[in-house]
């Protein structure tokens, strides 16, 4: 299998190399792409060095079977025709195509079969925060239809990419050394020792685009009319997103019933014992594959309400791992070039 990673130098691109290896994905040949900023850089995969190629409009994708693309929405839009024109399947991590009717939006634990209907050769990987949430919602939806979701997110700096991670580290150093000015480039405000209730751009309805993604993408992935009200918050955590989730279902689901459903669901680990201070936290979840769930209890504010807390590594399950799992599903079902 000939595989490409577009955006190889980035946070998600680097994770792709780790995950492809961990998952024993059948990579016979690997081609890395980037902009002029990283073209020429060398990365090692399975003990072999690969030089990043400049992404251009040419026939470089002619013999490539799958391209894992994590280079932002504008690059995805511009290069999708070049990547797919000879039959290469493009699994894209950006928001560019997610809501297009002829592009499936796939989380393998939830709607894997949608991946088999990709008329444009493009499969979209959902928003990271949404991926983590729907993995936990799916087993509950099987028990009773989820009507409403309220969610507050606690999103790590790495959700904004590698340079944003550097910025958080730099801010801590600047504060430690009593700098007069704190560097703020990627976030709207200083993130160190702060939380910022603002991710992506504000919309006329007062929600941000990140919050609207959680509304629209959850409905598309789950084939559901569920209503979602999200508040997405950036927190000074380096990696892994956390979410406090409240759901209202058609019939009541008890915490014990929910716990049993979570325990038998793919991609989920129940980590929940308030008597021993056991609940998921980013530092514990970093670099792990599953979504972790804890603090499972009744929602006292609604009749059929349940509330719980999830944490997942958003660079891994929220991006690279989810995309590689889509690739694995395609391989199992006869990759259609």
Ligand X SMILES: NC(=O)C1=CN([C@@H]2O[C@H](COP(=O)(O)OP(=O)(O)OC[C@H]3O[C@@H](n4cnc5c(N)ncnc54)[C@H](OP(=O)(O)O)[C@@H]3O)[C@@H](O)[C@H]2O)C=CC1
Ligand Y SMILES: N[C@@H](CC(=O)OP(=O)(O)O)C(=O)O
Residue showing tokens 């928001």: 95
Stretch that binds ligand X, among 103-111, 156-164, 173-181, 186-194 (CB under 6 A): 156-164
Among 52, 55, 90, 160, binds ligand Y (CB under 6 A): 160
The Cα 151–Cα 133 span in angstroms is 9
Q: Convert residues 38-77 into a mask of x (bound to ligand Y by CB under 6 A) and - (unbound).
A: ----------------------------------------
Minimum CB–partner distance for residue 296 and ligand X (Å): 26
227 is in an annotated binding site: no
The helix or strand, by DSSP H or E, that contains position 330, with its residue range, turns out to be helix 321-332
In a 3-state reduction of DSSP, which class is residue 39? coil
The Cα 169–Cα 322 span in angstroms is 27
| Using rule CB under 6 A, residue 129 touches ligand X | no
Of the candidates 254, 240, 229, 94, which has an alpha carbon nearest to the alpha carbon of residue 148? 229
Q: Are 84 and 66 in contact (CB under 8 A)?
A: no
294 is in an annotated binding site: no
Which is closer to ligand Y, CB of 10 or CB of 327? 10
Q: Of ligand Y, ligand X, none, which one sits near residue 143, judging by CB under 5 to 8 A according to partner kind?
A: none
Minimum CB–partner distance for residue 2 and ligand Y (Å): 26
Question: Residue 150 to residues 176, 228, 229, 307: CA-CA distances in angstroms?
Answer: 37, 6, 5, 9
Question: Residue 42 to residues 176, 208, 219: CA-CA distances in angstroms?
Answer: 34, 37, 40
Of the candidates 245, 260, 256, 310, which has an alpha carbon nearest to the alpha carbon of residue 284? 310
Minimum CB–partner distance for residue 234 and ligand X (Å): 12
Residue showing tokens 């990696």: 239
Among 139, 161, 282, 312, binds ligand X (CB under 6 A): 161
Minimum CB–partner distance for residue 303 and ligand X (Å): 35
| Using rule CB under 6 A, residue 70 touches ligand X | yes
Among 318, 326, 329, 330, binds ligand X (CB under 6 A): 318
Q: Of ligand Y, ligand X, none, which one sits near residue 199, judging by CB under 5 to 8 A according to partner kind?
A: ligand Y
Q: Of ligand Y, ligand X, none, which one sits near residue 213, judging by CB under 5 to 8 A according to partner kind?
A: ligand Y
240 is in an annotated binding site: no
Tell me which residues in 191-250 interact with ligand Y (CB under 6 A).
199, 210, 213
The backbone torsions φ and ψ at residue 116, rounded to the nearest 5 degrees and listed phi first, read -80, -5
Burial annotation 146-169 (CB, 10 A radius, 16+ → b, else e)? beebbbebbbbbbbbbeebbebbe
The reply to whether 241 belongs to the active site is yes
The Cα 60–Cα 69 span in angstroms is 14
The backbone torsions φ and ψ at residue 231, rounded to the nearest 5 degrees and listed phi first, read -125, 115
> How do 241-249 and 227-234 pair as beta strands?
unpaired
The reply to whether 232 belongs to the active site is no
Residues contributing to the annotated binding site for NADP(+):
9-12, 37-38, 158-159, 314
Binding positions for ligand X, rule: CB under 6 A: 6-13, 33-35, 37-38, 55, 70-73, 75, 93-94, 128, 158-159, 161-163, 314-315, 318-319
- State the catalytic residues: 128, 241
Residues contributing to the annotated binding site for phosphate:
98
């Amino acid at each position: 299998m000939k595989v490409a990673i577009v955006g190889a130098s980035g946070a998600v691109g680097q994770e792709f190399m780790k995950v492809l290896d961990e998952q024993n994905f059948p990579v016979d040949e690997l081609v890395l792409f980037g902009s002029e900023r990283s073209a020429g850089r060398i990365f090692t995969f399975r003990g072999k060095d690969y030089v990043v190629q400049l992404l251009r409009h040419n026939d470089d994708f002619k013999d490539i079977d799958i391209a894992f693309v994590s280079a932002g929405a504008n690059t995805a839009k511009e290069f999708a025709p070049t990547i797919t024109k000879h039959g290469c399947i493009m699994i894209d991590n950006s928001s560019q195509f997610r809501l297009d009717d002829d592009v499936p939006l796939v989380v393998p634990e939830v709607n894997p079969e949608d991946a088999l209907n990709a008329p444009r050769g493009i499969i979209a990987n959902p928003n990271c925060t949404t991926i983590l949430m729907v993995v936990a919602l799916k087993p509950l939806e099987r028990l009773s239809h989820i009507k409403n979701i309220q969610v507050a997110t606690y999103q790590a700096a790495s959700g904004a990419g590698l340079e944003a991670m550097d910025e958080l580290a730099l801010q801590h150093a600047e504060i430690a050394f009593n700098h007069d000015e704190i560097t703020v480039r990627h976030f709207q405000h200083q993130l160190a020792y702060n939380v910022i209730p603002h991710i992506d751009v504000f919309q006329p309805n007062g929600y941000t685009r990140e919050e609207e993604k959680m509304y629209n993408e959850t409905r598309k992935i789950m084939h559901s009319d569920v209503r979602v009200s999200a508040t997405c918050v950036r927190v000074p955590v380096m990696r892994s997103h956390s979410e406090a989730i409240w759901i209202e279902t058609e019939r009541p689901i008890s915490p014990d019933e929910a716990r049993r459903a979570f325990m038998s669901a793919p991609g989920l680990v129940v980590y929940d014992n308030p008597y021993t201070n056991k609940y998921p936290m980013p530092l514990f979840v970093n670099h792990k594959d599953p979504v972790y769930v804890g603090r499972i209890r009744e929602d006292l504010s609604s009749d059929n309400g349940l509330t719980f807390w999830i944490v997942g590594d958003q660079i891994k399950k929220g991006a690279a791992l989810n995309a590689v799992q889509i690739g694995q599903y395609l391989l199992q079902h006869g990759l259609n070039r």
